[in-house]
Structure 1
Amino acid sequence: MRSPQDRIASMKLHLLGVALAAAIAPGVAAAQSKDATTAELKEQIAKMQAQLQQQQQAMQQMQQRLSELETTQQAQAAAAPTVAPAVAAAAQPVTDADIPQQEPASRIHKPPSALAGVEEPPPSGYVRLGDSGNMVKLDVVAQTDMMFDNKLMPYKDLFIPAGIPVEGQPFHDSHMQSNLSAKQSVVRMDFRRDTPYGLLKVVYKNNFFGFGGPDMDYNLQYLYGELEAKDYSILAGYYLSGFTDISVFPNTLDYEGPNSFTFKYAPQFRYTPVIWRHGEGRLTLPMTLEKPNADIALISDNQTYSKYPDVTLGLRYEAPDWHIQWSNLFRNLAVQSASSDRTRSTEAYATQLTFAAGVFGDDSVQGWVSTGKGYANFLQDITGFGLDAAFNPSLDLEATDAYAWGMGYTHAWSDAVSSSASYGYLNINPDFNVFIDQSLPDTTQYASLNVAWQFSERAMVGAEWLWGHNKTLAGDTGDAQRLQMTFRYDLNP
């Protein structure tokens, strides 16, 4: 079907033809017949004029119709919403300002040998999750450790002085063994979003030091949420104990680290108010309620339990170049007989002082000391040995005294090469009359020395020498050494 514009154009051509025919008609008529009368010519002219008038009227009607259609179309176009062509929105980069940090940003140099995925990551590397308001940073660490021990060690993937065979025990005089492990590989996800109350963080992390089998067993380390405001923070979930100061963990390639370090994970609720600020520094009062996990040398049909959660209360001052923390632990250790329902309990407590500081350019130093009774399950070397408490001849519980200290030092040879050394000392002192296995550790020592090279932004290679000493409650001793070589890829440090 033709449009009104096409019809008008056709009508104009037709009228032009009629006009031309009218102009030449007299000449044509004269040529055809000289006998044509004046009356006949007038009659023909009148007919042509009538036809021309009809065509003009039809053209005017069509022009009016065209004007009405154009007016209607313009009105419809004005009323319709403007639809912009779809354009893919460019992804907005996440900047440091999008992830404000309430804690003072540390200026202590992080060496290549530092454990990957342990502390909070820097703001770079986050991406937005659509228009949800959430941001996420994914980090995957692939690491392989090759280890050579001078004797057979019961814990092949970890260097634990408390497990070193002593005189009279199997494998005390065994030969060198080798092992490869990828259990230090890590998957970590950090989620962030702004809320009216502050910055909300949700953190997930796992490695592969589970206990289901010999290789690559899933092991959850972090799964917690934290609301961080200017004057306080609230944390809930599964995370390091409030008695653990991970900021002073020395830079060892060995995952276990010094024997005397207090290291424990626990489901918990933590509240940390800021009570004083000075320049770039601040003083906080961290306090936690944690799942209790009494580790007691049991006899008969007793089972362990605790009347109330573990409680930690600390005082921490932190500045960009150093920090110091005083932590206190309060516990209840109890057992109950399955047959008689008789219960026995004892109180336990511990106190600890930790510090870390940047010194001499990019060098750093770390130190810790702790003492108390009934906190063996928090000490790295003897957790799980049943040394929190033991029964005396009256079948009452007595918490085991313990004392531990250690230190670490890291020297930066350059921006990409560093060496770290560490030492740890641990001693337990149970009452002489308690029922306790005399083959368990009385004193252990640990030393490490390494060199690490960050040969690219996301790859590191290093080597470490380890030494351990174990002395049992019976007085028997044993020593062991390990050489460890490490290769690591870090996707998004």
Structure 2
Amino acid sequence: MAATLEERVDALEKQQNHTVGNNTNITFGGFIKADTIYSKYSDGEQATSSVGEDFMVPSTIPVDPTGQADSGSGKLNMIAKQSRFWLKSATQTSAGEVRGHIEIDFQTNGMGDERISNSYAPRIRHAYLTWDKWLFGQTWSTFFNVSALPETLDFVGAAGTVFERQPQIRYTNGALMLAMENPSTTLYGGDSNPSEYDDNSMPDLVARYNLTGDWGNVSLAALGRQLKYQDTVGGTAHDESEYGYGLALAGKLNVGERDDVRFQLNYGNAMGRYTTLNAFRAGQIEADGDIDLIDQWSGVLALRHHWSDRWRSNFSVSVSQADNPDTVAATTNDTIQSAHANLIWQVAKPLALGGELIYADREIDNGEDGDLKRVQFTAKYDF
């Protein structure tokens, strides 16, 4: 009798584990993800950056500062670049077990065009090693509770989420996590384009405490950052720095046997690039060269509900806002909102098909806004 699909998948999973030498075990996997995306914008034909066509990037939603723009006619985009591959290793040594993880996908790095090849270069998502209580390398920021991210077909999902991967050194002891992470400063008002400065002399510092149980998990994280730049402002060279903070309360709460509620609440005067895909900068460079830090907050609330063993839905809403000083440009982002609703059919253990409705709105400092309405269909095969 021919094996069932589930039996073939189980056999494949067993084949994914390979032993190299006498003390190293290698595991690999990933997924193929094909997306068909139809977008319609209230203030133009397409996103102001091509990456905004592949997934929802709030700052790329077109907004006409004069309020005179016509609605776009809609645009279809089909991609497979979010497919990914990962490899993990575990090596037994006299000093204990050393683990490694490297993962790539093909998002954001174009090598060809849509006329012929649709080619995209691989990029590093994660590349880190762990030993004892230590982690070294690039992975999700310790400030980000990944389990609180809603399950969306969109690549990132809720606009106000914390979303950051970067090199770091992390120490974990039970529920406590402490990390030094790669710094980068983004500010309004400077001569640098795109207003990113790599002049920091101090790492971003993160402390996080996790509570976990059969009920789910909740984390409280604190972020301390140096915001620094070296630039010419008003014809005078400046070397300025300020110190700011961020706080994040996030988690996933189990509801019944399979459903859950996910949430994030983020606040601080140096959040900047850590939330809303850097739709807001951490501060404004004033006329005298000083840095005026910007208070910012964001919230995410999501529900995952299983209709049956093979059908589930996710509903999420999000809002993010900055208290900009009067000196920012009129086109500076003020408020971002988003909503997602999807229906996913788990055809078999490795195969899922789904559809998602997406709405997002971007309001700029002069009160004008633009919105995105999007329909996305996804086919995904995990291996």
With normalisation by structure 2, the TM-score equals 0.86
Separation in 1 of the partners of 2:271 and 2:297?
Answer: 10
Aligned partners of 1:455 and 1:180: how far apart in 2? 22
Q: Which residue of 1 aligns with 2:139?
A: 239
Change (3 A) 1:418 1:304: same
Give the superposition deviation at 1:219: 2.1
Superposition map of 1:15-94 within 5 A: none
Q: Which residue of the partner structure matches residue 351 of structure 2? A: 459
Match of 2:57 among 148, 160, 163: 160
1:170 positional shift? 8.6
Aligned match for 2:84, one of 186, 189, 203: 186
Q: Which amino acid letter does the alignment assign opposite residue 238 of structure 1?
A: Q
For structure 1, the 5+ residue unaligned runs are 1-122, 275-283
Find the aligned partners of 1:199 and 1:125 in 2 and give their Cα distance.
Answer: 22
Q: Distance in 2 between matches of 1:171 and 1:313?
A: 45
| 398 and 197 in structure 1: CA distance in 2 versus 1, 3 angstrom threshold | same
1:247 aligned counterpart, secondary structure: helix
Question: Which of 9, 12, 17 does residue 127 from structure 1 map onto?
Answer: 17
Structure 2 CA distance for partners of 1:418 and 1:296, relative to 1, 3 Å: same
Q: Secondary structure at the match of 1:393?
A: coil
CA distance in 1, matches of 2:14, 2:161: 31
From 120, 123, 127, the equivalent of 1:219 is: 123
Post-superposition offset of 1:427: 0.1
User: C-alpha deviations, 1:192-216, integer Å up to 9, x for none?
Assistant: 2334554422001111113345653
Structure 1 residue 400 displacement after superposition? 1.4
| Partner secondary structure for residue 331 of structure 2 | coil
Aligned to 2:10: none
Structure (1 or 2) with the greater strand fraction: 2
**Aligned in 2, Cα 1:125/1:370: closer, same or farther, shift over 3 Å?**
farther
**What letter corresponds to residue 153 of structure 1 in structure 2?**
Q
- Give the length in aligned residue pairs: 352
Over 3 Å counting, the alpha-carbon distance change for 1:300 and 1:363 in structure 2 is closer
* Partner SS, residue 342 of structure 1: strand
The CA RMSD over aligned residues, in Å, is: 2.2
* Contact 1:172–1:478 (CA under 8 A) maintained in structure 2: no
How far apart are 1:414 and its partner, in Å? 1.8
TM-score by length of 1: 0.67
Equivalent position to 1:331, from 199, 202, 225: 225
Alpha-carbon shift at residue 300 of structure 1 (Å): 4.3
Stretch of structure 1 that moved more, 333-342 or 356-365: 333-342
Q: Amino acid of the residue matched to residue 445 of structure 1? A: Q
Distance in 2, Cα, partners of 1:337 & 1:165: 29
- Contact 2:101–2:127 (Cα < 8 Å) also in 1: yes
CA distance in 2, matches of 1:212, 1:296: 27
1:183 offset after TM fit, Å? 1.8
Show the counterpart of 2:99.
201
The separation in 1 between residues aligned to 2:179 and 2:186, in whole angstroms, is 20
SS of residue matched to 1:153: coil
Q: Secondary structure at the match of 2:212?
A: strand
- In 2, distance between residues paired with 1:261 and 1:381? 8
**Are the aligned partners of 2:185 and 2:227 in contact in 1 as well (CA < 8 Å)?**
yes
Q: Which moved more, 1:317-326 or 1:330-339?
A: 330-339
| Residue 258 of structure 1: how far off its partner (Å) | 0.7
AA aligned opposite 2:54: D
Provide, for residues 5-59 of structure 1, a one-character-per-residue CA deviation record: whole Å limited to 9, x for no partner.
Answer: xxxxxxxxxxxxxxxxxxxxxxxxxxxxxxxxxxxxxxxxxxxxxxxxxxxxxxx
Q: 1:395 aligns with which of 242, 266, 289?
A: 289
- The code of the aligned residue for 2:135 comes to L
Aligned-partner Cα distance in 1 for 2:213–2:73:
48
CA pair 362-207 structure 1, distance change in 2 beyond 3 A: same
Matched, 1:176 2:176: no
CA separation of 1:300/1:468 partners in 2, compared to 1, >3 Å: closer, same or farther? closer
* Structure with more helix by fraction: 1
Once the two structures are overlaid, the 10-residue window that deviates more, 319-328 or 296-305, is 296-305
Which residue number corresponds to residue 36 of structure 2?
A: 146
**Secondary structure of the corresponding residue to residue 53 of structure 2:** coil
The alpha carbon displacement at 1:298 in A equals 4.3
Matching residue of 2:3: none
CA distance in 1, matches of 2:67, 2:92: 58
- Partner residue of 1:256 out of 153, 156, 165: 156
